Structure 1
């Protein structure tokens, strides 16, 4: 009997799939049997990741797309659905961080750029995905939130990022209850401190030891710590999970 965690026969897409968490999840979905499209603002990264996925025997498609461009996102999803196969699963992962200045000094464009990518980009992506999923009465969407949407990170001045991720979690709940009667589930993933280019950037280098001291498991997470939860959330194993924010943080928010 096929495992409920198996993704064979499914077609997926991942935004921001050319690097970091998105790339790791793309590889995990491919290992689980799914054909996966890689959507990324960096077309070269998307193309190289797609080639890696094809090397394990699944089909892939690379598309360069800016998730803040609603029309471009719609066209990209339509292309995935027609060229790779009817869309079953999606991970709306593309995101940025831009901060580390006092809120009273934050330029308006710093606020807008983070909200545009992290929140509006997730909405545009989910909307485009639902347009092909809802008529068929099936689909599972996973949105990238963060524990920063639950807590205000000590020592980090990033109200734009925190607000965007809190917005994703509540957007997820809103879409989940609206689309569930039509067969489409929507959940969010909230990582804690994960070793990625965002947490390895210079402006937070001196804070990593403090973060680790607040994690009961005593270490920062890796992208591989998120691949299982991100696969579970779109697989049949989570068939009754809807509107849930899945926190994967080593226990950080427990303290």
Structure 2
């Protein structure tokens, strides 16, 4: 478009949800349940969930939590490897009544992601929940960072999350049942990390926060809620090793709780946002860091 034509262009406009729309109405619990049954029903996860990066340290714990809360069908999208195979086998042995499928998916490949989403629609009738745990960490001094590394970090963390959300949202719209999308941002989206320099990671996760809010506004009309969690430093393989001991000491000293988190400590927020208990939560981010970002 020539610059002189800009004044005559038409902007696309989003449509907001209606209070009368079925998918946006409150969903009261059945009145004939006992208190214990009401408590269980409030946080029950049913239907089909897709978890990207679902065989990683954080994603696999989230998968287990979904299954513990009643999930019928789990679709894990991750890169194939010996560790991913072992984790899927473990989940299947723990939850024999659930359907658990693994797909070797590169989240940065639009065609792969779209195909996997359409196959889910044909195979199991749709998708109800999406968790985007697939991601990478990048630690480099900004003045030395290759452009290739900057683009790789954004391509996986931000673009990959968007491509999965877009493909799954289209399936949710086709099935007509709405759903919940939970992105994984980070405390790195909220403030600068110390002592490690990681500008690409921080910026990519800040972009995930902005994307989450935009999608929440656009897709509420379809009964799709989009939220995010922002984990702090977690006790995973990424934060292990003698070379990270000095950094771990600093992280712990700057945390009011004096420690980094356990992956299990993310599950409460994940279940809240994925279940009907979080039905009126949309466009929100939950920081789970033991107070790390207070200072």
Give the TM-score range, shorter chain. over 0.9
Say what the alpha-carbon RMSD is for the aligned residues. 1.5
Q: Measure, in 1, the Cα distance between the counterparts of 2:145 and 2:223.
A: 41
SS at match of 1:233: helix
Structure 1 residues 201 and 17: CA distance shift in structure 2, 3 A: farther
Gaps of 5+ in 1: none
Q: Which residue in the other structure is 1:67 paired with?
A: 107
- Cα distance, 1:43 vs structure 2: 4.7
- Cα distance, 1:134 vs structure 2: 1.9
Within a 5 Å distance, the mapping from 1:1-255 to structure 2 comes to: 1=33, 2=37, 3-7=41-45, 9-34=46-71, 35-55=73-93, 56=95, 57-99=97-139, 101-135=140-174, 136-200=176-240, 204-255=244-295
- Cα distance, 1:229 vs structure 2: 1.1
Higher-Rg structure is 2
- Cα distance, 1:200 vs structure 2: 2.2
Gaps of 5+ in 2: 1-32
Q: In the TM superposition, what whole-angstrom CA distance separates every residue of 1:48-98 from its partner, at most 9, and x where no partner exists?
A: 333333321211110001111111111122223322442100101100012
SS at match of 1:114: helix
Structure 1 residues 163 and 201: CA distance shift in structure 2, 3 A: farther
- Cα distance, 1:47 vs structure 2: 3.6
Number of aligned positions between the proteins? 253
Q: Measure, in 2, the Cα distance between the counterparts of 1:132 and 1:145.
A: 23
Q: Measure, in 1, the Cα distance between the counterparts of 2:207 and 2:244.
A: 23
Contact map agreement 2:54 2:77 (CA 8 A) in 1: yes
Q: Measure, in 2, the Cα distance between the counterparts of 1:150 and 1:95.
A: 17
